[in-house]
Amino acid sequence: MPVKVVEDWLNACSGCEISILNIGDPLLDLLPQLEFVHMTALVDHKFFGQVGDKMTMEIPEADVAIVSGGVRNEEHKHELEEIRKKAKFLIALGSCAAYGGIPAQANMWKNEEVFEKVFRHSPSTDPAPDPADPNIPKWTDSCMAVDEVVKADIVIPGCPPHPDWIVEALSALLAGKTSWSLPERSVCDTCPVIREKKAAGGAVKRCFENAEFNPNEGLDKMRCLNEQNILCLGPVTLAGCAGKTGVPRCIQARTPCRGCFGPIRKGAKPMVDMMGALTSVGLDPKTIVDRRAIMNRYIGGHKFLTPLPARPAR
């Protein structure tokens, strides 16, 4: 009997679903063992009856649910709770599901401030329908990770997650295991660049500054980007973005790690740890522009990012 799978996206961009398709040939080996009974990205299966004739949400019973995206509104929350009720195992796929992801940067402001700035008075776009409109799903107080709402049995981080880990996690479940996780190593642990444990010192440059390197030489001849004063979150980010083998993806492109795989272990405090890592090579973390946002770029759920108290009027 194939394993029944529900796949769904919440506050997501579809990149995680592309990662499922990017599994490539190994997906052909897995597919005979899986039956996708609901996958809104690929299968024409609706939530309220096939022609919208039902009043309650219908998610099919499943052995495994794979959910991408975080929870941004009451509809996502309801959908996720329904999925959790119907599935024996739940996989949170991608960094939006794991940590809130990039959309959780909005957690630095109150919802009303976001509506004002982004939907009603953006200088660069026309006003858009207001998400406070009662006819569309109400925003939750913050943009949440999946496990802030329901239990997640397995978390596959990454923006997007690497196909290798989707195969590994699914294969573990098919083999009867009930858990799976990536080894706790940092991006730096898998990075081949030269480290001298000392930067030039002083201000930290933003991550889009050009690194110094010789394009005719390998990465093992390039100096660590933090030691070139360019902010690289490798020391506090979980390794695995290049799959089972290989050099971290951004480092391959000679650009710094922005932290998309999230913290190395649950309970870590990446911002504190990163400030320590920068200080240890002689850099001043206080010189980082938008420090709080940049160091928590993908992990704004779990209360890592919250609105700052209003500043007193001058």
Out of 5, 6, 16, 146, the residue judged to bind ligand SF4 by CB under 6 A: 16
Q: Which of 188, 264, 274, 278 binds ligand SF4 (CB under 6 A)?
A: 188
The whole-angstrom separation of Cα 86 and Cα 214 is: 54
249 is a contact residue toward ligand SF4 (CB under 6 A): yes
- Decide if residue 102 touches ligand SF4 (CB under 6 A): yes
With binding defined as CB under 6 A, does residue 204 bind ligand SF4?
no
260 contacts ligand SF4 (rule: CB under 6 A): yes
Contact status: 76 vs ligand SF4 (CB under 6 A) = no
Asked if residue 21 lies in contact with residue 15, where contact means CB atoms within 8 angstroms, the answer is no
In b/e form, how buried is each residue of 227-254, taking b as 16+ CB within 10 angstroms?
Answer: bbbbbbbbbbbbbbbbeeeebbbbbeee
| Closest to ligand SF4 by CB, 178 or 252 | 252
**With respect to ligand SF4, which residue has the nearer C-beta, 160 or 301?**
160
* Residue number with CB closer to ligand SF4 (135 or 214): 214
SS3 call for 307: coil
Residue closer to ligand SF4, measured from CB, 102 or 204? 102
Q: Which of 87, 149, 166, 232 is close enough to bind ligand SF4 by CB under 6 A?
A: 232
Q: Rule CB under 6 A: say whether 237 interacts with ligand SF4.
A: yes
Sheet holding 62-68, edge to edge: 34-39, 3-9, 62-68, 87-93, 154-156
Selected binder of ligand SF4 within 224, 288, 294, 299 (CB under 6 A): 224
CB atoms closer than 10 angstroms to residue 22: 15
Exposure string for 260-271, b = 16+ CB within 10 A, e = fewer: bbbbbeeeeebb
Cα–Cα distance for residue pair 142/37, rounded to 1 Å? 30
Query: Segment near ligand SF4 (CB under 6 A), from 29-37, 73-81, 202-210, 249-257?
Result: 249-257
Q: Does 296 bind ligand SF4 (CB under 6 A)?
A: no
Question: Which amino acid does the sequence have at 159?
Answer: C
State the nearest-atom distance from the C-beta of 262 to ligand SF4, in Å: 8
- The contacts found for 253-256 with CB under 8 angstroms, 24 or more apart, are 254/211, 254/213, 254/219, 254/222, 255/207, 255/208, 255/211, 255/225, 256/207, 256/211, 256/225, 256/226, 256/230, 256/231, 256/232
Rounded to whole angstroms, how far apart are CA atoms 180 and 174? 12
Find the shortest distance in angstroms from Cβ 121 to ligand SF4. 26
CB of 314 to ligand SF4, least distance (A): 38
Block residue for tokens 């913050």? 142
Applying CB under 6 A, the span of 147-155, 201-209, 244-252, 268-276 interacting with ligand SF4 comes to: 244-252
| Binding piece for ligand SF4, criterion CB under 6 A, among 41-49, 77-85, 93-101, 132-140 | 93-101
Residue 250 in contact with ligand SF4, rule: CB under 6 A: yes
State the residues that interact with ligand SF4 by CB under 6 A: 12-13, 15-16, 68-69, 94-96, 101-102, 159-160, 187-188, 191, 193, 195, 224-226, 232, 234-235, 237, 241, 248-251, 256-261
